[in-house]
Amino acid sequence: MPKAVVCRQLGPPERLRLESFASAPLVQGQVRVAVHAAGINFPDILMVAGEYQLKPELPFTPGVEAAGEVIEVADDVTGVAVGDRVIVRMRHGGYADEAAVALAKRCGEVRLSARCGSSRCWSGRRRGRFVRTFRTACRLRTTRKRCGC
């Protein structure tokens, strides 16, 4: 049975618990990813404390970004196959052995953020923290360009 870090009560990270869960069936537009690495980000800590703008219903699994391998694909999904190594971003759910991830587009970006090659520089740990860090740096660069900094 897969396991996940679960927040059942808001507060410090010490209240999180590792629990087993049953995999839910995929819905249209989703893929299941075996999580190999997940980034730990400030929003995750704020969310667990109940201090982030997004407040998921309890219980929930924190984790806004992860990296791993596609292990299941919904019938309607194309362009992604079992075995693809991917980087994913989500509202929460990354601190688990597996995560169901939507392929819905948002702001021209696919939530299944990237397929990763076999390069050694893209280890699971590096992929697991790439999305949040890269998006922050990209936003800073875009903002500085607009204001002439």
With bands split at pLDDT 50, 70 and 90, how would you rate the model's confidence at 131?
A: low
pLDDT above 70: residue 115: no
Q: Chain-wide mean pLDDT for the chain?
A: 79
Residue 127 DSSP code:
H
With bands split at pLDDT 50, 70 and 90, how would you rate the model's confidence at 59?
A: very high
39, 43, 58, 107, 120 from 93: Cα distances, Å: 11, 13, 12, 21, 26
pLDDT above 60: residue 139: no
- The domains located in the chain, with CATH, are 3-147 (3.90.180.10)
With bands split at pLDDT 50, 70 and 90, how would you rate the model's confidence at 84?
A: confident
